[in-house]
């Protein structure tokens, strides 16, 4: 009887170390609402965090899982599954990750997120496809990001994203506005 009690007690002490290993993570878009000009490229930045309660290190997110040998498929350890209004697809071309040779996954090369750590990355860039974009408010919904770390596959829904295209590039408004103010003040001063 004493041996059975000792085995039960030992299994209770050991079980949490083996049975409760879990990846607990979250992500969000840093700049989900943007106002841009009709010819501007839009870049969304995001942050991914390994929760402090997680018992798994997030690593190797730049790699892929190859299960083709066992009749499965090859898929990225980190993937963006995006959905959008057709209107946005009509006007913008998408580049998953930063524009250029870097991709969403390549930003995570060598990155290890211990529980409680976070990492900022370029989620998506949108490039005007065929000339200036008509002025309007466009809403895009990121469906989810999926992560597969050490056999722990999970995905989380994303935030709604809103893009307002204004007729004049926002940078030009910031530059021209003060010039017009100074010009009107000088003209007014000369009238007196």
pLDDT tens, position by position, 122-168: 998 989 988 899 999 988 777 789 999 877 788 888 878 888 999 86
Most confident of 18-27, 70-79, 168-177: 70-79
pLDDT tens, position by position, 17-66: 445 679 999 999 999 999 999 999 999 999 999 999 999 999 999 998 88
Question: How many CA atoms are closer than 13 Å to the CA of 165, on its beta-carbon side?
Answer: 19
134 CB-near residues (< 8 Å, 6+ apart): 38, 91, 165
Give 22-176's CATH code, choosing from 1.20.140.10, 1.20.1050.10, 2.60.40.10, 3.30.70.20: 2.60.40.10
Contact 169, 36 (CB under 8 A): yes
Q: Of 79, 84, 105, give the one whose Cα is nearest residue 42.
A: 84
> What is the CA 92 to chain-centroid distance, rounded?
18
């Amino acid at each position: 009887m004493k041996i059975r009690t000792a085995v039960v007690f030992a299994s209770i002490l050991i079980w949490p170390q083996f049975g409760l290993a879990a990846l607990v993570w979250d992500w969000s878009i840093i700049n989900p609402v943007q106002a841009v000009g009709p010819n501007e490229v839009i870049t969304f930045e995001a942050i991914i965090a390994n929760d402090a309660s997680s018992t798994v290190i997030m690593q190797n997110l730049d790699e892929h899982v190859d299960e083709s040998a066992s009749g499965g498929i090859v898929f990225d350890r980190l993937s963006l599954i995006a959905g959008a209004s057709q209107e946005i697809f009509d006007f913008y071309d998408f580049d998953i990750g930063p524009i250029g040779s870097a991709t969403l996954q390549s930003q995570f090369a060598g990155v290890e997120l211990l529980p409680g750590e976070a990492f900022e990355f370029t989620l998506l860039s949108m490039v005007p496809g065929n000339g200036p974009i008509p002025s309007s408010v466009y809403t895009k919904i990121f469906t989810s990001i999926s992560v597969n770390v050490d056999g722990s596959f999970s995905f989380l829904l994303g935030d709604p994203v809103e893009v307002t295209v204004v007729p004049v590039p926002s940078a030009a408004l910031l530059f021209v506005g003060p010039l017009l103010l100074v010009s009107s003040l000088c003209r007014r001063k000369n009238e007196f």
